[in-house]
Chain A
Amino acid sequence: MALDLEEQEQLATLKAWWKDHGGNVVLVIVVMALAFSGWQGWRWYQIRQASEASALYETLRKAVEAGDLKGVRDSGGALAENFPNRLQAAMGALAQARFYFDRGDLKSAKAQLQWVIERSPSAEFRDLARLRLAMVLLDEKAYDAALAQLEPPPAAPFVAQYAALKGDILVEKNDAKQAAAAYRAALEKAPKDDQAFARSVRMRLEALGG
């Protein structure tokens, strides 16, 4: 089918346009394709990393359950080394901290909690780790170090538990007055639906004669 004049003219315009801009169009398409495949690749990499980290965490959990010290040390170490920025590593460190604490190895427990405080991407995990680190320090009778951990204020929902632990530490330091004040602060901030917590703190407070 022959092209009529108008269409021939259009074709010519298009050809001219292509000559001027064709390179750019190809470039744009190539860049988009590259960006897309790069994005896909990055996603794939992320998912691979995540599943490796999740698998390692699962291994660690099983080792903790089985009480397998070597298994805990190996998988825990691998998690922290290969995936330090993933939540799985922080979860693993918390699990290890309890594992060591239960075995009376307070030094290793402290190291794990310290790691969470320094490296965890989750602010909640950092608050939890500080609270738990202060508990370990209390058992070590390192009262001032324990109080220092609790000094920077945590997120609001953790305030009551921080205050209660502060009271426990001050009792051991024989500072009944400050301890009572800390317990009172804990009761004031305690969530309404956590009756067990409030009851327990109130008992410790009343025993101080206040």
Chain B
Amino acid sequence: MFELVQKNKRLIQVLIILIIIPFAFFGLEAYTRAKRGTDVATVEGEGITAREFGDALRAQQDRLRAAFGGQFDPSAYDTPEMREALVEALIAERLVAIEAVKSRLLVSDDALRRVIAAMPAFQRGGKFSKADYEALLRAQSLSEAQFEARLRYDLTVGQLRQAVSATAIAPKTVAARIDALEDEKREVSEALVPAGLYLDKVSVTPEQAKAHYEAHKAEYRAPERIRVEYVVLSAEALGKATSVSDAELKKAYAEAGSKYRVGEQRRASHILIKLAPDADEATRKAAHEKAEKILAEVKAAPEQFAELAKKYSQDTGSAAQGGDLGLFGRGMMVKSFEDAAFALKAGETSGIVETEFGLHIIRVTEIQPERARPLAEVRKELTKMVQEEKGKRRFAELAESFANQVYEQADALKPVAERLKLELKTSDWITKTPRPEYGVLNNPRLLAALFSPDALKERRNTDAIEVGSDTLVAARVLEHEAARERGFDEVRADIEQTLRREAAVKRATEAGEAILARLKKGEASDLKWGAAQMVSRREPGALEPAVLRTAMALDSAKLPSYFGEIRPGEGYAVYRLSKVIAAPQPSDDKLRQDLERLRQRIAASEYASYVASLRERADVSIHRDNLLPAQQ
């Protein structure tokens, strides 16, 4: 072998070059493909990386956080099912992308440029800003090429999605039929045969109760519960605890500036002669003549304005007060009224002023010039504002140290409470399930932390958890009671009541069904019918979905028609269908709207089927080991 190489050096060199050539052109993708140890899924040989998955998960959580605010608990929305759903969504997107690439759907540089230029994030003063673009990308540590490639990918997927779903059509025939079904109205009345009627007539033997207990032990278990001590650090409480000195108040008052200025206010009375803006010439003339006459009377005896207003004004509200409208500033009255009122001096009367309400004669009775509300008057609200600000500042100073202390000295909360002068509170028994009466502890994240092994077994402090804006809570378990079975005697009364009610509902059902049979034969009954209500599929009124469906599907050849339904815990409900009104011929507009609604529904179904069909033909595998959260 070695000799052969020795002898044919040139030939070997040529051969080596020939072997190398393909690598220069085909790259190393064959090798990189093998490295998919952390990918969450593989679609047609392409990996969906853990990083892509992480990004998508984070984006989803950000959206949820924006929707739920402080109550958001990331762990509640990071279940294996949700991860599975998310990876399915990424696979769907990738399938469409692969199909787009295979079909060589291209997004031109030009189109790409247009989309980037139109993105609101990169705009300054309504125009694309190259500097903002670069700065924003740098902030996300993306190169322009990376960002543009990502965007191009999104646009390509979008193009194909759009080609499938934006081209959907819906048959008018079906839209019209659905319309007729949804708007058909039926008159339904309800009568209840209440279980309460039979509660006294049924009995439960101890053996029955015992048997029920044995069969349903799990349901009667007392849940796991804990009592905790906790410390709350909140900007609000910190603020309330601070005192505000006069000097601080004065400073804040000076800084508030125009906030406590009150513009000029005027008090006026008026006499109104109503006149609609679109009144005809004759009415207009009559109203003006009347107003002139009153004006003359007012001019003759200005001090009699209040009496004249009572006598003539057609503004019934103010007439009784002698035309008084109270104090008002600028911008509170219609323009022409305001202009007239602010042009007069105190005690003067205007001429005839026309507004959309009619003709006014205005008399200004008082002028309060522009003024600043004195400190004494605003002291209370100003103090509150200063306290809030101080509280926020104090909170910002303390939050980190609070979190650190809680973490560093994890076996007690007393020291941190003493050091920061916070109240150490104790709770009643609480369970894992959030409830409003838990107050500040009613936060899913906090509860989850309290029921973690660290907190339960090691009795460690929870982290300082943000339960609301500017509110941190740290808690520690004092007492823990595991879930336990409750003895028969402890729950006997509950069980007996449940069983009695069940038996009573059964009796009510028997009675109700007998009545229903008689009604169907056309015989009378002594049921007390509730008020009849008109329902349709679109407007179900107070009917439950199942009842509505039965009511709408009931044969209406012979009316009235009857049906019944068991109401668990309550009794047996009998329903009477007394009238059927076919849907009216829909207007063109309504039909168009309903057609579009149907079209969108069809489009969504078709796109889902499109993706499912791509998926059926493709080679897809999900690597579930990589899907679970990384263990810490």
- Using a CB–CB distance below 8 Å, which chain A residues touch chain B? 10, 13-14, 17, 25, 32, 36, 46-47, 49-51, 53-55, 58, 86-88, 91, 94-95, 97-98, 101-102, 109, 121-124, 127-128, 131-132, 135-136, 138-139, 155-158, 160-161, 165, 168, 171-172, 191, 193-194, 196-197, 200, 203-204, 206-207, 209
Residues of B within 8 Å of A168, CB to CB, are 171, 173-174, 177
Asked if B333 is an interface residue, CB under 8 A from chain A, the answer is no
Tell me if B106 and A51 are in contact (CB < 8 A). yes
Interface centre among B18, B604, B608, B613 (most CB of A within 10 A): B613
Q: Which of B167, B601, B614 has the most CB of A within 10 A?
A: B167
- Taken together as a complex, chains A and B put the C-alpha atoms of A94 and B104 apart, in Å, by 18
Say yes or no: is B2 at the interface (Cβ < 8 Å to chain A).
Answer: no
- Quick check: B169 and A132 within 8 Å, CB to CB? yes
Q: Given the complex, which residues of B lie within 8 Å of A50, measured CB to CB?
A: 104-106
Residues 1-37 (chain B) with a chain A CB within 8 angstroms? 7, 10-11, 14, 18, 21, 25
* B394 part of interface (Cβ distance < 8 Å): no
B-to-A contact residues, CB < 8 Å: 7, 10-11, 14, 18, 21, 25, 99, 103-108, 111, 160, 163-164, 166-174, 177-178, 181-182, 537, 549, 552-553, 555, 601-602, 604-606, 608-610, 612-614, 616-617
- Is there contact, CB below 8 Å, between B606 and A131? yes
Closest to A133 in B: B169
The distance from the CB of B623 to the nearest CB of chain A, in whole angstroms, is 23
Can you name 5 A-B residue pairings with CB atoms under 8 Å? A14-B10, A132-B169, A157-B612, A203-B181, A209-B553
Q: Give every chain A residue within 8 A of B608 (Cβ-Cβ).
A: 157, 191, 193-194
The answer to whether A101 touches B104 (Cβ under 8 A) is no
Chain B residues within an 8 Å CB radius of A139: 171-173
Q: Known contacts A10-B7, A87-B103: does B170 contact A135 (CB below 8 Å)? A: yes
A128 adjacent to B171 (CB under 8 Å): no
Q: Which residues of A contact B160 (CB under 8 A)?
A: 91
Interface centre among A14, A128, A157, A207 (most CB of B within 10 A): A157
Q: Which residues of B contact A193 (CB under 8 A)?
A: 608
Taking the closest CB of chain A, its distance from the CB of B438, in whole angstroms, is 34
With both chains docked as a complex, state the minimum distance between the C-beta of A39 and any C-beta of chain B, in angstroms: 9
Residue of A nearest to B107 (CB): A54
- B171 touching A138 by the CB < 8 A rule? yes
Which secondary structure characterizes the binding site on chain A?
A: helix
A58 to B105, CA, bound (A): 11
When the two chains form their complex, are residues A197 and B181 in contact, meaning their CB atoms are under 8 A apart? no
A196 pairs with B106, CB closer than 8 A: no
Q: Which residue of B lies closest to A128 (CB)?
A: B606
Contacts of B166 in A (CB 8 A): 95, 98
Task: Give CA–CA (A206, B555) in the complex, Å.
Answer: 11
The 3 closest A-B pairs by CB, nearest first: A157-B612, A50-B104, A87-B103
Contact A94–B537 (Cβ < 8 Å): no
Which of B168, B602, B609 interacts with A157 by CB under 8 Å?
B609
Q: Knowing A98-B167, A168-B171 touch, does A203 contact B178 (C-beta < 8 A)?
A: yes
Residue of B nearest to A28 (CB): B18
Q: Which residues from chain A contact B164 at a C-beta distance below 8 Å?
A: 94, 128
B11 → chain A closest CB, angstroms: 7
Residues of chain A with a CB closer than 8 A to B549's CB: 206
Are B553 and A207 in contact, with the CB atoms below 8 A?
Answer: yes
Q: Which residues of B contact A87 (CB under 8 A)?
A: 103-105
Nearest chain A CB to B114's CB is how many angstroms away?
A: 11
Contact with B111, one of A58, A88, A128, A197 (Cβ below 8 angstroms) = A58
Complex Cα distance, B104 from A55, in Å, reads 12
B171 & A196 in contact (Cβ 8 Å cutoff): no
**Contact: B610 with A128, CB < 8 Å?**
yes
- Are A155 and B108 also in contact (CB < 8 A) when A138-B174, A168-B173 are? no
A113 nearest CB across to chain B (Å): 9
- Cα–Cα distance between A111 and B609 once the two chains are bound (Å): 24
Q: Report whether B616 and A156 are in contact in the complex, using a CB–CB cutoff of 8 Å.
A: yes
Give the docked Cα–Cα distance between A88 and B111 (Å): 16
Question: Closest CB-CB distance, A152 to chain B, in whole Å?
Answer: 15
